[in-house]
Amino acid sequence: MKNPFTKLIHHYTYDMRLKTKLVISHIILVLLPTAVLSGFLYLRIYGIVMDDSIRSEQALSAQTVTSIESLVSHVGHASDTITGSMMVQDLFRVPRSEASTRDISTSKMNSLFHLVQSITDHSMIMDVKIYYDDSVYGDLMQYNKIGNALFNPVSSVSSSYWYGIFSTSQQSRLLCPELYLTPDETGKSGKLAYITRIPYTYEGGTVSDIENASAYVALYLSGPAFETVLRNDATVTDEAAFLVNERDVIVSASDMGLAGKYFIPRRDLEQRVGKEKTFSLVSYLDGSAYVAYFPIADTDWYMMSIIPALHIGDAGKALMTHFAMIYLLFTALALYTAFRLSGSIADRIIGVALQMETVRTGPPQPMDVADTGCDEIGVLSDTYNYMTEEIITLMDSQKKASDELRMAEFRALQAQINPHFLYNTLDMINWLSQTGQSEKVTEAVQILSRFYKLTLSRRELMNSIEKELEHVSLYVRLQNMRYDNCVAFVVDVPEELCEYTIPKLTFQPIVENAFLHGIMMKEEKKGSILLTGWPEGDDIVFIISDDGAGIPPETLDTLKDDVNAGTGSSASPRHTAFSGHIGIYNTNLRLKSLYGESYGLSITSTLGKGTEVTVRIPARHITSD
């Protein structure tokens, strides 16, 4: 017994289709080594892309830090401009003992308000306030202008967190998040603030201790300005960037929800993240992320940038997708080349083989090929087409001869009916003449003349259903003339069927059989014959029924056997009981000869009640016949 590998080699060598064999050979020799090499290169390039993605995010975060430092520098410069103004210096850079006695210049005060107005741009700096030591100074709020409450007593913000920080530290400047401000400040001025302390001076010009501050200059900042910069750093879903101060308070964030999710306390940064400005992979409860933190110059802030690990992986996946698309493109090109190379040989051979296989299910057909070529395969194809055309010609000749033979058989069977009916009719006219009924003889001759005109008017074998119904009606009239109107003949056929075709002399033999062997066999010699018809799918069905004597069961079985058996031109009734029904027999043979075994007559009968003959023919319109 061959092992599976040997079987596979044998199948590849002998059993596989030629074109498939050539394509597989191309894949094994070219595409497989290329796939192995591509996989190796992908693993190397994937690592490079991952590192490059992290460096790109690191560069973007550095740009974000620069933008934030630029905003802070702008605010610091604005604060220095206000604190360095002549009005502020003259009013607040004084010894405590002289503070309450300082003269206030109206022009300098106006200049200060104009300066504050020019600095307040409402895009970054929303508002400016000067909180003065109201325990020393008089009421400076009287200098405020409508819509610009610049001066406010420090006692109004003494409960704020930022005031507490200034009171307990030596800081001269403080960047305040929303948490540090009073509700009144956040509601009226801004969510963030840059506050500068102005201390009293001693007599010698030195700065006083931390507990003594003549005023605080507060610039209230726009939160969205920082948030916009941070959002520019967070460019993908679930990526976050946020600012945190030295007391672990979140100052601003691209997304507060994500900031809370990824927050790491300052004391744990070095342990979990490592050195600053470098992304490291950090594990969280719901996944991993690349995290880096960047200090903000001249502040106690640092920016944390978080990138989900999946995003960095997406860069690798994108590379893989592009790499795969390029590889598939080259693979498709290679396969196309393989098909083209093999097609010049295999396709034509396979085409001839498959075309020859069609002989199993039908007649041979020539190959529909515009150019078979001039090589050996082309000669084979041309020879096959020539052979096929010769076979088709012979088959067409045979079919034509068969059709002519079938029509000859049909006419022969029809010829058997015409003398049969004519004999009976002439016998009836002879009887009328013998009984001296000359008018009826004339009428009978006229009816017979019309009857045969319909039968012999043209040499065609077909008639319209309308004329065939007229034909059988004439026959019944002739018979009623002979038998004293003993039969009531009823026709119930839809008008739309009248334009379809039917072989001549289809109804008459069946009605004749019903008349002579049905009605006339009754004791009273009277009855009715009903002819109905209707469309049924692609066929037309007629039923001719009578209420005559019926057919005895044994005779009916014999009749059915002969109807079913007699389908050839040489067929003839095999039983003497059939001799009285020769018209039905011939009619059935004609229909089957013309239309096939699916069509013809079927007979049912009940002794003493009547007989029913069903005629089935295909529905063929006169215009398409």
pLDDT for 625 equals 55
Whether 281 and 7 have beta carbons less than 8 Å apart is answered as no
CA–CA separation, 530 vs 528, rounded Å?
7
CA–CA separation, 291 vs 309, rounded Å?
10
Per-residue DSSP letter, 99: G
- Look up tokens 């009981």; give the residue: 577
H helices of 282-375, in order, are 309-342, 348-357
∠260-54-250 over CA atoms, to 5°?
Answer: 20
Whether 567 and 589 have beta carbons less than 8 Å apart is answered as yes
- Token pair, residue 587, equals 């009619």
Q: Which residues of the chain have pLDDT under 50?
A: 568-571, 574-578
Q: Which strand ranges, in their side-by-side order, compose the sheet holding 600-606? A: 487-492, 527-536, 539-546, 610-618, 600-606
How distant, in Å, are the alpha carbons of 157, 358, 389, 573 from that of 396?
A: 113, 18, 10, 34
pLDDT for 286 equals 82
- Token pair, residue 221, equals 């900042």
pLDDT for 406 equals 63
Look at the pTM and tell me if it is higher than 0.75.
no
Listed in sequence order, the residues at least 6 apart from 534 whose beta carbon sits closer than 8 Å to its beta carbon are 494, 497, 540, 541
**Phi and psi angles of residue 133, each rounded to the nearest 5 degrees, phi first:** -75, 95
Phi-psi region of 147 (alpha: psi -120 to 50; beta: other; left: phi over 0): left
pLDDT for 578 equals 45
- Token pair, residue 329, equals 């493109």
**Phi and psi angles of residue 29, each rounded to the nearest 5 degrees, phi first:** -80, -25
Torsion over CA of 371, 373, 376 and 382, rounded to 10 degrees? 30
pLDDT for 426 equals 81
Long-range interactions of 312-320: CB distance < 8 A, separation 24+ = 312/50, 312/53, 312/54, 312/57, 313/50, 314/236, 315/49, 315/50, 315/52, 315/53, 316/46, 316/49, 316/50, 316/53, 319/42, 319/45, 319/46, 319/49, 320/42, 320/46
Buried b (16+ CB within 10 A) or exposed e, 173-194: bbbbbbebbbeebbeebbbbbb
pLDDT for 457 equals 58
CA–CA separation, 5 vs 40, rounded Å?
28
Topology of domain 416-568+577-618 in CATH is: Heat Shock Protein 90 (3.30.565)
Three-state secondary-structure class, residue 156: helix
∠471-475-477 over CA atoms, to 5°?
Answer: 115
Closest CA to 340 of 23, 24, 27: 23
- Token pair, residue 319, equals 């590379």
**Alpha carbon of residue 246 to chain centroid:** 56
Three-state DSSP string of 399-442: HHHHHHHHHHHHHHHHHHHHHHHHHHHHHHHHHHHHCCCHHHHH
Listed in sequence order, the residues at least 6 apart from 264 whose beta carbon sits closer than 8 Å to its beta carbon are 272, 273, 282, 291, 304
